Amino acid sequence: MSTVSGRRLHHLGTHRVLDPVGAMPQSAWQLDNTPVALDNEILCDVEVLNIDSASFKQIADECCRDADRIAAHITAIVAQRGKQHNPVTGSGGMFVGCVREVGQALRGGIDLIPGERIASLVSLTLTPLHIDAVTRVDLTTGRVWIRGQAVLFASALWAKLPHDIDQNVALAVLDVAGAPAQVARLCSPGQTVAIVGADGKSGLLSCAQAKSRVGAAGRVIGIVPDASTPASQLLERLGLVDDLVVADARDALDVSEKVAAIAPALADVVVNCVNVPGTELGSILCAKDDGIVYFFSMSTSFTAAALGAEGVGRDVTMIVGNGYTKGHAGTALQTLRDHPGVHAYFNEKYAQV
């Protein structure tokens, strides 16, 4: 077994952990981001970072939405930690890049060769990343163009970029692939489903997937802060929601009362897709007893969710927003293909940005 700095190579990447030794890459404070491919690693030249929504909003707000300051801030995080791991939100994102080298031990064992363009499907919070330069920041999409390299471990998930979907659109969809895939698994015909933050990337795809799952006998309620936005209007125009509720999800009583006015029995499934904190209790109160609340949002405080549910006496099953669900990349991209109107919206907003 090969070693690096005296540490045995491990398929989960623990050999890259510098501080604290013995931690897993995601929970570690600092990783070794030396841009070389060890025997059980894949080295990629990174083109674009897609910073997750909660993290980018926090960084952008802290930097007064100044692109140069955002670039410097992200560069500083990576220089300090060896990965894009926002110390405030605890979240990261994903990247698109070109495979430069496949480690000796992986060659022949995976369907990947140098020169292929891929999107990472694991968080940047556990991905060794080296930035040479930030060349562009897009304030609307949270995308950051860089010159740099990233290392994927043997256990890492990735997807080859599809040929029938614009690269930037594919990146936007794959970044939230866990949401529509999990919605497909949680929702059943005839159910009432409430999507909190229905007007975002994950929200739109979740509404599309929920509507197809619950069928004509079911009901999808989209909760948005503003009904006049293009995304909110799209939800109604395409029939992806049966009802659109305008509410601040941080106002737990207001949002739950508005949902109850539409569905007195409340929702069987609530999906939280927002990028702001403080929406845990509102989501819980929208769910019926014995219902399910799926917190996809990385802004979620799971302490607040657990204690909040206890405090209001609501017996609900709460699911942590795992970014990985079996087949999630295929499900998310197919959701886009199955809904041309949603695909057109994503093209308009994300293609060739």
Question: How far is Cα 134 from Cα 57, in angstroms, rounded to an integer?
Answer: 18
Q: How do 143-153 and 129-138 pair as beta strands?
A: antiparallel
Furthest C-alpha separation in the chain: 63
Handedness of CA 272, 278, 284, 287 (dihedral sign): negative
Look up the CATH number of domain 178-327+335-350. 3.40.50.720
DSSP label of 267: E
What torsion, rounded to 10 degrees, do the Cα atoms 254, 255, 257, 263 define? 170
Torsions phi, psi of 278, nearest 5?
90, 15
Average pLDDT over residues 300-317: 94
Confidence grade of residue 326 (pLDDT, cut at 50, 70, 90): confident
Q: Can you read off the two tokens belonging to residue 220?
A: 């999808």
Confidence grade of residue 56 (pLDDT, cut at 50, 70, 90): very high
CB atoms within 10 A of CB 226: 9
pLDDT tens-digit series, residues 5-15: 556 899 999 99
Q: Can you read off the two tokens belonging to residue 324?
A: 């990985």
Residue 6, pLDDT score: 57
Residue 58, pLDDT score: 95
* Whole-prediction pTM: 0.86
Tokens 């999630």 map to which residue?
A: 328
pLDDT tens-digit series, residues 57-100: 999 999 999 999 999 999 999 999 999 999 999 999 999 999 99
Cα 128 off chain centre by: 18
Domain boundaries, the chain: 3-161, 178-327+335-350
How much is the mean pLDDT over the chain? 95
